[in-house]
Amino acid sequence: MQEKELLAETGGLFESTAELFFSDGWHLDKDKEDAKVYSKKHNNRTIFKLQGVVDAAIEEMIDDLSPEKMHEIPTWNTTLKKLHCLQKLDDTTIIFYSATHEFSAIISSRDQANLRKFGWKDGVGIFAYKTVQLDEVPPLKSVVRSESFECCQAVWPVEEDKTKTNFAWMMNMDYKMPALVPGKLFNEVCRWILLESMKCMHKHAKDKKAQREAEAKK
């Protein structure tokens, strides 16, 4: 796909993703101390939405997810093997590559090339993304090429404490599981990725805060 074709897709991608993110029908699926996972049926798939509060300002969260910083995320998010920006199409649109670690003997590493558009909707910063097929990023023999549909990560400030940020991650994907693997196992993988990612985000925010405090004492 050419740059013009990719950019032409981003408006529809952002609007349809935001509509799904704000849609009704989500029900509580998992309730942990530091995060909640919601789920609903959409296009014959179970999709998930993680939500929690991170002890970091929204500007810091957006910076961590920026094209310039996203390659650092696998150093603190243990679910990811690789993550980096492949191409910046404009100030709010990129193509990025991601790959997960293996989860078990029957669930190998997955990878994707995704088109991502950032924008604001009703006070929420939304990083909407979906998988695109690119000749420059062919599938690897050792990795299963999964597919994301309307997915997003979203941030918005905690009104009563601007040093903290609401974070959400909507996961709407086909993990390309083997036919003999039950759908329940796929759902458990999604829940684990979301909750483990939130755990990593809390630790990352805590480590950065401790580093700032240590530098301030010098």
Q: What is the rounded distance in angstroms from the CA atom of residue 129 to the CA atom of residue 217?
A: 41
* pLDDT band with cut points at 50, 70 and 90 for residue 3: confident
Annotate 49-64 with b (16+ C-beta within 10 A) or e (fewer).
bbbbebbbbbebbeeb
How do beta strands 27-31 and 151-157 pair? unpaired
pLDDT of 14 > 90? The answer is: yes
What global pTM score does this model have? Answer: 0.92
Query: What phi, psi does 12 have (nearest 5°)?
Result: -65, -40
Contact 38, 51 (CB under 8 A): yes
What DSSP element (H or E) covers 62? Answer: helix 58-64
Q: Considering the chain, what is the average pLDDT of its residues? A: 92
pLDDT of 140 > 90? The answer is: no
Q: What is the rounded distance in angstroms from the CA atom of residue 191 to the CA atom of residue 44?
A: 18
List of domains in the chain: 3-217 (3.30.530.20)
pLDDT of 117 > 90? The answer is: yes
pLDDT of 74 > 70? The answer is: yes
Residue pointed to by tokens 């990129």: 94
SS (HEC) of 15-36: HHHHHHHCCCCCEEEEECCCCE
pLDDT of 139 > 90? The answer is: no
Question: Tokens at residue 164, please?
Answer: 């903290």
Mean pLDDT value of segment 107-136: 94
How do beta strands 110-121 and 93-100 pair? antiparallel
**CA torsion 23→28→30→34, rounded to 10°?**
80
What does the pLDDT read at residue 106?
A: 62
Q: What is the rounded distance in angstroms from the CA atom of residue 99 to the CA atom of residue 160?
A: 36
Contact 39, 49 (CB under 8 A): yes
What would the pLDDT profile of 163-200 be if each residue is shown by its tens digit?
999 999 999 998 787 666 777 888 888 899 999 999 99
pLDDT of 84 > 90? The answer is: yes
What does the pLDDT read at residue 131?
A: 95
Mean pLDDT value of segment 42-47: 93
Selection from 63, 49, 54, 57 nearest residue 17 by Cα? 49
pLDDT of 105 > 70? The answer is: no
What does the pLDDT read at residue 102?
A: 80
What does the pLDDT read at residue 48?
A: 98
* pLDDT band with cut points at 50, 70 and 90 for residue 217: confident
Mean pLDDT value of segment 40-62: 96
Contact 39, 122 (CB under 8 A): no
pLDDT of 1 > 70? The answer is: no
What does the pLDDT read at residue 103?
A: 74
pLDDT of 11 > 90? The answer is: no
Q: What is the rounded distance in angstroms from the CA atom of residue 32 to the CA atom of residue 104?
A: 23
